[in-house]
Amino acid sequence: LRRSVFACSLCHRRTLKCRRCDTCMTRGHGAYDDEKCFKCEGLIEHWQDENITKLSRNGHCSWCFLDASHTLEKHNSVRRSIFACHSCGLRSVPCVKCKDNFCRGGVAWDDNTCASCESDSNG
């Protein structure tokens, strides 16, 4: 079933109605659309929740090599969640080794370790 597509009035990004509650909006992406809003996904209890700030994390980006904020793009329970770097805008995923920094990510691939951990292991 198709859903109507909207644009956020603040960021002008693609949004769609949540398939579960049908009152909140989900984010639309190029290749896929989120099915449920963050509340129905269980990431926040309500829209005024202070945990909403946890949807962004700071860390070293392995694309632009800057310490930057990374915004959650897609929450994954089994695999690593997908983020986007605020500095360069590219896809990033948490490092499996240090868990503090971010690895480069692509549509069909993700690095396992960040640039910092990679340089530590190469000496």
Q: What is the pLDDT of residues 94-123, one digit of tens each?
A: 999 999 999 999 988 999 999 999 887 765
The per-residue pLDDT for 103 is 96
What's the whole-model pTM score?
0.72
Q: Which helix (H) or strand (E) holds 38?
A: helix 38-41
**Mean pLDDT for each consecutive 10-residue tract of the chain (123 residues)?**
86 91 87 88 81 82 96 85 93 95 93 91 66
DSSP 63: T
Q: Which tokens in the block code for residue 26?
A: 């989900």
Tokens 């690593």 — which residue? 80
